[in-house]
Amino acid sequence: MKNIVLTGFMGTGKSEVGKELSRVLGWQVIDIDTEIEKSQNMKITEIFKQFGEPRFRDLETEMIKNLSKNKNVIISTGGGAVLRQENMDALRESGVIICLTAAPETILKRTSNNNDRPLLQAENPLKKIKELLEFRMPYYQKADIIVDTENKKPFEVAEEIIEIWKK
Q: 25-82, pLDDT tens digit by residue?
A: 999 999 999 999 999 999 988 998 899 989 999 999 999 999 999 999 999 998 889 9
| Cα(7)–Cα(10) distance, integer angstroms | 9
- At residue 117 the predicted structure's pLDDT band, cuts being 50, 70 and 90, is low
- 3-state SS class at 148: strand
Number of domains making up the chain: 1
Helices (DSSP H) in the chain: which residue ranges?
A: 14-25, 32-40, 44-67, 85-94, 104-111, 125-140, 154-165
pLDDT-above-70 percentage for the chain: 94
Checking if the pLDDT of 12 tops 80, the result is yes
- Distance in angstroms (rounded) separating the CA atoms of residues 109 and 111: 6
Distance CA(157)–CA(18), nearest Å, equals: 10
Are 94 and 3 contacting, i.e. CB atoms less than 8 angstroms apart?
A: yes
Put the strands of the sheet holding 95-101 in their side by side order. Answer: 28-31, 73-76, 3-8, 95-101, 145-148
End-to-end CA gap in the chain: 11
Residue span of the structural domain in which 107 resides: 3-165
| Confidence tier at 114 by pLDDT (50, 70, 90) | low
CATH number at residue 89: 3.40.50.300
Q: How confident is the model at residue 159 (pLDDT cuts 50, 70, 90)?
A: very high
| Residue 119 in this model has a pLDDT that exceeds 90 | no
Q: What's the pTM value of the predicted model, to 2 decimals?
A: 0.92
